[in-house]
């Protein structure tokens, strides 16, 4: 009779152990979700920097470096008096670009080089002023009379140099599928912003090949992407029946969307007047190619590509109407990031349990 309590304890011990394990597992899952929530919240907060001025200054003002106060955009007089050119760092069809200095800050001074393209230059300035946000390079000043624009300097340069940058010892730790996917999310975020901008639906027309696309974007020191060149940004207005054409020359190659190519065959000579216009879905067609470059060939990047396969296949639909919107692509990219982070964190949590 005295042994009964002992037997009872032995019978219920496995249940107690099972309950403890279950409780530990539950705590582990809750901790995992908390960590994941905090991480993603921090990540999306960094993505969600104010859509207005990136320096949180009123329109027409900027803040640079460690300076706390906002300054008004520099005028012609201020640029001539206070900005000193250091060296030419680039030249395109429209403008020449100089690394310059303003009050001990490195800045970028862009000047028109071809007077025949002054309308393109002024259009780029108009877009730069109107679209100031977390997605667009920061405007510091301009002088329409002298066809001059002053913008923030980013030492890592354009996206064309991404792979070279990631081989620099200082940045090798950023060469992971995780950071590369975040760059792809940044890129699609820019496209999404342009397609739903304060001015309406804008098309990134200066994008006829991968190298040209990459040259339009800057890589910041904290590894975000900014659009830098807005000279060719026409407006789509479906309600008014307004579509676009990216230039007046024939476009060729698999990089440009099918609707951007001459539809009447080689036997019919190209004529701009006969070329049908198109809409912003040309930008969607190019997303998989740009993202493929951004993802690179690092451990885990093929897994990312596998998760993005369906949305990228949809981006490559021949019929533009069947392609997803930039917002749908962006939402998918973010879901894939969340899923892959959860999968990466979970095995470590299981080992702890």
pLDDT greater than 80 at residue 23: no
pLDDT single digits (tens) 27-69 = 555 555 555 555 555 555 444 444 554 567 999 999 997 778 9
Residue 25 banded pLDDT, cuts 50, 70, 90: low
Q: Tell me the mean pLDDT in the region 308-324.
A: 98
- In the chain, % of residues over pLDDT 70: 82
Residue 349 banded pLDDT, cuts 50, 70, 90: very low
Residues 154-345: name the CATH superfamily.
Answer: Transferase(Phosphotransferase) domain 1 (1.10.510.10)
Domain 70-153 in CATH 3.30.200.20? The answer is yes
pLDDT single digits (tens) 71-87 = 999 999 999 999 999 99
Nearest one of 137, 127, 123, 109 to 53, comparing CA atoms:
137
SS (H, E, C) the chain: CCCHHHHHHHHHHHHHHHHHHHHHHHHHHHHHHHHHHHHHHHHHHHHCCCCCCCCCCCCCEECCCCCCCCEECECHHHHHHHEEEEEEEEECCCEEEEEEEECCEEEEEEEECCHHHHHHHHHHHHHHHHCCCCCECCEEEEECCCCEEEEECCCCCEHHHHHHHCCCHHHHHHCCHHHHHHHHHHHHHHHHHHHCECCEEECCCCCCCHHHHHHCEEECCCCCEEECCCCCCCEEEHHHCECECCCCCCECCCCCCHHHECCCCCCCCCCHHHCCCECCHHHHHHHHHHHHHHHCCCCCHHHHHHHHHHHHHHHCCCCHHHCCCHHHHHHHHHHHHHHHHHHHHHHHHHHHC
Provide φ and ψ at 138, rounded to 5°: -75, 125
| Position with higher pLDDT, 169 vs 27 | 169
Q: For residues 32 and 324, what is the distance between their CA atoms, to the nearest angstrom?
A: 33
pLDDT greater than 60 at residue 224: yes
- Hey, where are the domains in the chain? 70-153, 154-345
Average pLDDT, the chain: 88
Q: Tell me the mean pLDDT in the region 144-163.
A: 97
User: What was the pLDDT predicted at 324?
Assistant: 98
């Amino acid at each position: 009779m005295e042994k009964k309590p002992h037997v009872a304890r032995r019978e219920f011990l496995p249940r107690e152990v099972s309950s403890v394990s279950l409780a530990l597992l539950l705590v582990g899952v809750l901790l995992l979700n908390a960590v994941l929530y905090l991480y993603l919240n921090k990540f999306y907060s960094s993505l969600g920097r104010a859509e207005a001025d990136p320096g949180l200054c009123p329109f027409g003002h900027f803040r640079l470096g460690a300076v706390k106060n906002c300054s008004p955009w520099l005028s012609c007089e201020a640029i001539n008096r206070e900005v000193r050119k250091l060296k030419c760092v680039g030249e395109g069809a429209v403008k020449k670009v100089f690394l310059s200095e303003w009050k001990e800050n490195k800045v970028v001074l862009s000047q028109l080089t071809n007077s025949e393209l002054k309308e393109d230059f002024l259009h780029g300035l108009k877009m730069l002023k109107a679209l100031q946000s977390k997605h667009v390079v920061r405007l510091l000043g301009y002088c329409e009379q002298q066809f001059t624009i002053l913008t923030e300097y980013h030492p890592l340069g354009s996206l064309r140099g991404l792979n070279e940058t990631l081989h620099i010892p200082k940045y090798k730790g950023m060469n992971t599928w995780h950071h590369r996917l975040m760059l792809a999310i940044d890129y699609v975020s820019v496209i999404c912003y342009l397609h739903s901008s304060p001015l309406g639906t804008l098309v990134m027309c200066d994008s006829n090949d991968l190298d040209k696309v990459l040259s339009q974007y800057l890589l910041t020191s904290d590894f975000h992407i900014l659009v830098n060149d807005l000279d060719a940004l026409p407006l789509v207005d479906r309600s008014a029946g307004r579509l676009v054409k990216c230039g007046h020359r024939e476009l060729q190659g698999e990089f440009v969307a099918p609707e951007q190519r001459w539809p009447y065959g080689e036997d019919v000579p190209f004529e701009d007047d006969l070329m049908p216009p198109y809409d912003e879905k040309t930008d969607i067609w190019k997303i998989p190619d740009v993202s493929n470059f951004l993802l690179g060939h690092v451990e885990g990047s093929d897994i990312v590509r596998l998760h993005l396969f369906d949305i990228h296949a949809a981006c490559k639909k021949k019929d533009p109407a069947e392609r997803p919107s930039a917002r749908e692509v962006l939402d998918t990219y973010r879901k894939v990031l969340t899923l892959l982070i959860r999968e990466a964190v979970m095995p470590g949590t299981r080992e702890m349990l």
